[in-house]
């Protein structure tokens, strides 16, 4: 009976968590539609502050990781292509990999670890200090004042971070190919010939989707934080883990859709 009891309690807890998540998502959608109809209700100053913290403060680490990613991909690709004497095509491989897949994916994981956890911690501390209860008592919905600006900021920050990470990755690849006696002019000529506007826009659109998921999961974890000593820490961990899982699942779904639609 103990085994069945634990299974039942776990199932009920998961159902409650799913119900809470769907309620949070529905309220966020309603607030977003209301903000579109009445733009004055949107907290633009809070969104700008969250955008600054997510973008400009996180730009060095995302650019550095992008640069190292380009260097690593170039060296690993060179090991296989050098035996055929076609090292120049490493530039084509880097362009496709960074713009379509790795640029948005790696940048989103960095955003989840940095900004998603920050969103959960900020809102979790507000809940522990009963600031969320104070907003609700005054008739001010916390989702509109705290969640929506952060979600929009994460959506806007991801394309900017993705562009810089991709450019840094290409620069890293150019340096590696220059060490292999491939001129930079030839490298950038192959990059411009391989990249197209659709490929770039596809990567930026994927980045915006990933940013929205990071913002939603981070804020949701903060809203559901318990008022205990370790509640904020648990919420922060849940935000990072949940954000990375959501990014991986959504990236897989987008890859399947791109294959079906042949894009």
pLDDT tens-place string over residues 104-161: 999 999 999 999 999 999 999 999 888 888 888 888 889 999 999 999 999 999 999 9
d(CA 58, CA 123): 20
d(CA 250, CA 105): 10
d(CA 117, CA 171): 30
Domain count of the chain?
1
d(CA 193, CA 141): 50
Percent of the chain with pLDDT over 70: 99
Q: What angle do CA 211, 213, 218 make, to 5 degrees?
A: 95
Host domain of residue 139: 2-261
Alpha carbon 205 to its chain's center:
11
Question: How would residue 181 be classed by pLDDT, with cut points 50, 70 and 90?
Answer: confident
Q: How many helices (H) and strands (E) does the chain have?
A: 12, 0
Instruction: Evaluate if pTM is beyond 0.85.
Output: yes
Residue 222 pLDDT: 92
162 exposed, middle or buried (CB, 10 Å; 0-12, 13-18, 19+)?
buried
d(CA 147, CA 140): 12
């Amino acid at each position: 009976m103990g085994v069945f009891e634990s299974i039942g309690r776990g199932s009920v807890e998961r159902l409650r968590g799913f119900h809470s998540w769907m309620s949070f998502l529905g309220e966020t959608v309603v607030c977003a539609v209301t903000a579109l109809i009445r733009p004055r209700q949107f907290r633009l100053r809070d969104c700008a502050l969250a955008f600054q913290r997510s973008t400009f403060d996180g730009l060095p680490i995302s650019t550095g990781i992008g640069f190292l990613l380009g260097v690593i991909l170039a060296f690993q690709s060179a090991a296989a292509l050098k035996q055929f004497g076609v090292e120049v095509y490493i530039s084509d491989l880097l362009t496709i990999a960074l713009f379509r897949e790795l640029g948005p994916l790696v940048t989103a994981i960095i955003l989840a670890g940095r900004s998603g956890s920050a969103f959960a911690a900020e809102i979790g501390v507000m809940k522990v200090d009963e600031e969320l209860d104070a907003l609700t008592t005054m008739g001010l919905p916390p989702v509109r004042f705290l969640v929506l600006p952060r979600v929009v900021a994460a959506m806007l920050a991801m394309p900017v971070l993705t562009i810089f990470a991709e450019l840094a990755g290409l620069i890293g690849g150019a340096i590696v190919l220059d060490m292999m006696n491939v001129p930079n002019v030839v490298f950038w000529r192959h990059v411009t010939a391989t990249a197209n506007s659709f490929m770039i826009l596809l990567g930026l659109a994927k980045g915006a989707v990933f940013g929205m998921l990071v913002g939603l999961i981070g804020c949701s974890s903060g809203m559901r934080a318990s008022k205990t000593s370790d509640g904020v820490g648990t919420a922060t961990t849940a935000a990072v883990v949940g954000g990375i899982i959501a990014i991986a699942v959504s990236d897989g779904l987008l890859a399947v859709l791109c294959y079906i639609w042949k894009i």
